[in-house]
A = this chain, B = another copy of it.
Amino acid sequence: SSKLGPDYVLRPLHLSDYKAGVLEVLKDLTTVGDISEERFIEQFEYMRARQGEYFVIIIEKIATGKVVGVGTLLVERKFIHECGLVGHIEDIAVAKSEQGKKLGIKIISALDFIGKKVGCYKNILDCSPHNEQFYVKCGYSNAGFEMTKRF
């Protein structure tokens, strides 16, 4: 896409992105752990089987063929809002070496485009307070607190 510049391509996750380093990019966000290629494929197929539910996109750096950014939209169906749809933006990460190039904002706008297109009445996401300003730049507003219970 022209907005992304000639050095990068934004596209859906492929099976081959296991080797292109998608999990290494996610390690910048949080714990990933050891995931075999077989387990990766299994989870990928789970998501792919759920048409219209999971949208995982990546940014590839053309020169290296490596994944440098990733993000997911999970579309939830509700009863409220006339059986409305809500898009959950999850697991946004950009490789450290590629930060400051506005790749994160490109991922969010692609996921916003998808959310709108599939009919979500809103997209939501959770973030730490120090990432709030990034999401404000993406057009998001603070809507309250995330609460969590770990098992």
Query: A2 to nearest B CB, angstroms?
Result: 23
- Which residues from chain B contact A147 at a C-beta distance below 8 Å? 124-127, 132, 135-136, 140-143
- Asked whether A3 is an interface residue with its Cβ less than 8 Å from the other chain, the reply is no
Indicate how many identical chains form the complex. 2
Q: Enumerate A107-139 residues with CB–CB distance to B below 8 Å.
A: 112, 115-116, 120-129, 132, 135-136, 138-139
| A76 proximity list for chain B (CB < 8 A) | 74, 88, 90
- Asked if A99 CB lies within 8 Å of chain B CBs, one says no
Q: A102: CB under 8 A from chain B? A: no
Instruction: With CB as the reference atom, state the residue of chain B lying closest to A18.
Output: B79
Given the interface pairs A90-B76, A124-B126, the reply to whether A141 lies near B148 with Cβ below 8 Å is: yes
Known contacts A43-B77, A83-B35, A90-B78, A116 near B151 by CB under 8 Å: yes
Are B144 and A128 neighbours in the complex by a CB distance under 8 Å? Answer: yes
CB of A150 within 8 A of chain B?
yes
8 examples of A-B residue contacts, CB within 8 angstroms: A30-B81, A43-B78, A43-B83, A122-B151, A124-B147, A140-B148, A143-B145, A143-B148
Q: A112-B151, A122-B151, A124-B149 are in contact. List 4 more A-B contacts (CB 8 A).
A: A32-B80, A43-B83, A123-B149, A124-B147
